Amino acid sequence: MSDFNNIKKYVFGTPLKTGATVIDVPASEGTPDHFKYNPQLGTFTYNLKDKDMVFGLGETVRGINKRGWKYVSNNADEPHHEETKESLYASQNFLIVDDVTGCFGIFVDDPGKVEFDIGYTNLDKLVIRAEHNDYDFYVFNGESPLELVKAFRTLVGKSYVPPIWAFGYGQSRWGYKTAEDIREVATRYKELGIPLDMIYMDIDYMQDFKDFTINPERFPDFENFVKEMRAEGIHLIPIIDAGVKIEKGYDVYEEGVKNGFFCKKEDGTNLVAAVWPGKVHFPDFLNEKAAKWFGDKYKVLTDAGIEGFWNDMNEPAIFYTEDHLKEVFEGLKEFEGKEIDIFEFFNFKDLVSSIDNNPEDYRRFYHEFNGQRVRHDRVHNLYGFYMTKAAGEAFARNNPDKDILLFSRASYTGMHRYGGVWTGDNSAWWSHLLLNIKQMPSLSMTGFLYAGADVGGFNGNTTEDLMMRWVEFGIFTPLFRNHAALGTRNQELYRFERTEDFKNLVGLRYALIPYICVSFINAVVNDGMYMQPLSFVYRNDERTREVEDQLIVGDSIMIAPVHEQNANGRYVYLPEKMKLIRFRSYDDYDTEILKAGDHYIKAALNEVLVFILPGHELKLAKPARNVGELDVEHLKVISF
Ligand code: GLC
């Protein structure tokens, strides 16, 4: 009998030790409660009850209630976050099924492909199927979704806590090339008095996109530049990509080859893929020695004063592999000079358009994992996790006295102990602001507390009103970063007309930092959630089960972000009497007590709606230029 009698483990086949869990739960006999297991098909089927809601899976498309779609855990470099997508960058195989009269949770610890058909094939069936048949299947029992979240986190460990300044505002853009570009960002923010704690360095700071290098022409005196920015209260946060450029004389490449630290193909040669640097090898982060070696490389930058990183392209993204490219050219010959009919034309087109992130390529290479040779597709979803783990463990070794900011694009359960996530290449769409709102509680559920989206949208051109509404939500997300793609419209807050409003809104974020940090730490310590769906709190209020665009943040406030263009307000459902604060800034707001029920609440473009729950209070600091300058001794209290 386990000490953790609310967690049951069922073992299928010979599972790999993924590193997702931190405690050993003895295996139970038989098959998982609640499910019908079909050993021939390898499926677990649960008959969804009318009122069952299904929560979880972390970063995916669609709603907080996951019913009505099929999700596939298969980390993907997916820049189109549309409703029809089954996989994004992350895989969190944790689900909660809840109909209020009862609930249970499950976690499938399998880093290969796992399919969650939640009423897609059959409206009333939840069917789970893993591509490989070796995994631990956990079932959690509890009285409420929050208890299940707690049981899950008891199993998988405490969430990562970033340095306090990482709760400030960050400006990023793919396209800042030189120290001068970055200086300009810092200066423009300072001139307008908009607080700022971080400026992100995208791939252009590197020499030819080589990890752990700095382009000496663009950054002639990098160490001093880092110091200069620190003196301005700004932390520089460089990106690190998974692929290592193949280039004679480049130390990371040479050492990796010499020590056999790169992922190899069946024939023992290193896989050649292409990403931003051109041709690359992939470090085998699953190999302990290779992970230690790569992790220690971050020291090049921490020694220069860097205190934060974002790990990217670590699904891993593959633009092409040398092998597949050859196959494509071969295949194209078949079409050359031939009269091709329309169906052949589509075959021809598919041949070329399926070059990047091709599923076959993920079956071409291997890892040395726990002393075993394992084909990549079997452990695919661990790659970004182990890259981030390598960095996190290296920081603990090499910088034990420092808190280092770390977050990643790809992830799997367990990575939440080492870093946070951003939700990847979203678009400057109103629907993606809404998606951000819906993803946040799902991420909280799975232990990814330090999380956020590219505020304003990454792909496509944003607009001033979308940016303002997104900032109004972003001020509540632990990771609050404005980031955009190369070639898109400039979207630093100083590029817009209503800079005073942006200053007030970002100022409000800084005012909220004491509340945000306390709520965040509570969620870490108590294995709880930073952002919750309303139905987790108001268990007996049926209406809350359909509310997907209002969230409980911490335990004292509810937020209701405006996420539609040209809206001057929105409908808000109040499960109980609450105190509305309509913020324009830290010291410009009005309040009103509202009774339970439906309300249309006005919110002009520069106004944020916050609702204090009865018996609670909101403590605000006076905004400052950066987190370090906040006066957290003297807080203003708004109570209800
Ligand atoms: C990827 C990242 C994005 C970054 C870009 C260039 O698309 O998701 O954030 O800006 O690569 O490095």
What DSSP string runs through 321-351? Answer: EHHHHHHHHHHHHTTTTS---HHHHHHHHHH
Q: How far is the CA of 174 from the centre of ligand 1 (A)?
A: 7
Whether 296 is catalytic is no
DSSP 13: S
Q: Identity (one letter) of the amino acid at 256? A: G
Rounded Cα distance between 212 and 205, Å, is 10
In the predicted structure, residue 607 carries a pLDDT above the cut 50: yes
Catalytic pick among 312, 368, 527, 549: 312
Nearest to 145 by CA among 551, 533, 546, 557: 533
What is d(CA 443, CA 531) in angstroms, rounded to the nearest whole number?
9
* CA of 391 relative to ligand 1 center, distance in Å: 19
Length of the chain: 640
- pLDDT at position 74 is 98
Nearest to 532 by CA among 149, 134, 27, 104: 149
Find out whether the beta carbon of 409 lies less than 6 Å from any atom of ligand 1: yes
Q: Given the structure tokens 């298969």, which residue do they identify?
A: 74
Interval 105-154: pLDDT, tens:
999 999 999 999 999 999 999 999 999 999 999 999 999 999 999 999 99
How much distance in Å is there from the Cα of 9 to the middle of ligand 1?
A: 38
Global pTM reads: 0.97
Pocket test for ligand 1, best of 80, 275, 312 (most atoms within 8 A of CB): 312
d(Cα 380, Cα 112) in Å, to the nearest integer? 6
Residue 507 clears pLDDT 70, i.e. is over it? yes
CA of 612 to the centre of ligand 1 (A): 37
Question: What distance in Å separates the CA atoms of residue 37 and residue 127, rounded to the nearest whole number?
Answer: 10
Which pLDDT does position 253 carry in this prediction?
Answer: 98
- Ligand 1: nearest atom to the Cα of 409: 8
Taking residues 448-471, report their average pLDDT.
98
Please determine, for residue 452, whether its predicted confidence score (pLDDT) is greater than 70. yes
What interhelical angle do 464-474 and 499-525 show, nearest 10?
Answer: 30
192 in the Ramachandran plot: left (φ > 0), alpha (ψ -120 to 50) or beta? alpha
Q: Rounded to an integer, what distance in angstroms lies between the CA atom of residue 578 and that of residue 640?
A: 8
Rounded Cα–Cα distance for residues 312 and 305 (Å)? 21
Provide the phi-psi class of 597: left if phi over 0, else alpha when psi is between -120 and 50, else beta. left
Q: Which atom of ligand 1 is nearest to the CA of 486?
A: 10
Q: Strands 636-639, 578-583: parallel, antiparallel or unpaired by DSSP?
A: unpaired
Atom of ligand 1 nearest to the CA of 454: 9
Q: What is the rounded CA–CA span in Å between residue 174 and residue 457?
A: 12
pLDDT for res 4: 73
Q: Given ligand 1 and candidates 206, 313, 318, which is best to mutate, with the most ligand atoms within 8 Å of its CB?
A: 313
Average pLDDT score over residue span 48-70: 98
Active site residue 339: no
Q: Which atom of ligand 1 is nearest to the CA of 172?
A: 10
Instruction: Quickly count: other Cβ atoms within 10 Å of residue 237's Cβ.
Output: 23
The torsion angle over the Cα atoms of residues 229, 201, 443 and 554, rounded to 10 degrees, is 20
83 Cα to the center of ligand 1, angstroms = 21
- Ligand 1 atom, smallest distance to 458 CA: 9
202 Cβ below 6 A of ligand 1:
yes
160 and 73 Cβ atoms separated by less than 8 Å = no
pLDDT at residue 2 tops 60: no
Q: Mean pLDDT over residues 357-364, rounded?
A: 96
Judge if the beta carbon of residue 168 lies within 6 A of ligand 1: no
What are the beta bridge partners of residue 45?
Answer: 36, 127
3-class DSSP string for 425-484: CCECCHHHHHHHHHHHHHHHHCCCCCEECEECCCECCCCHHHHHHHHHHHCCCCCEEECC
Asked if the model's pLDDT at residue 236 lies above 90, the reply is: yes
**What mean pLDDT is predicted for residues 590-605?**
98
Rounded CA gap, 408 and 310, in Å?
A: 5
Q: How far is the CA of 312 from the centre of ligand 1 (A)?
A: 7
End-to-end CA distance of the chain: 46
Q: Decide if pLDDT at 3 tops 70.
A: no
* Choice among 202, 315, 472, 527 that is catalytic: 315
Q: What is the mean pLDDT of residues 488-509?
A: 98
Residue with CA at minimum distance from ligand 1 atom 4: 174
pLDDT at res. 1: 40
Q: Which residues on neighbouring strands pair with residue 583, listed in sequence order? A: 589, 608
Ranges 154-158, 331-335, 551-555: which has the least confidence: 331-335
Q: What share of the chain is helix, strand, coil (3-state, %, to 5)?
A: 30, 25, 45
Report CA(455)–ligand 1 centroid distance (Å). Answer: 14
With a 6 Å cutoff on the Cβ, whether 203 touches ligand 1 is yes
Clarify whether 555 is annotated catalytic. Answer: no
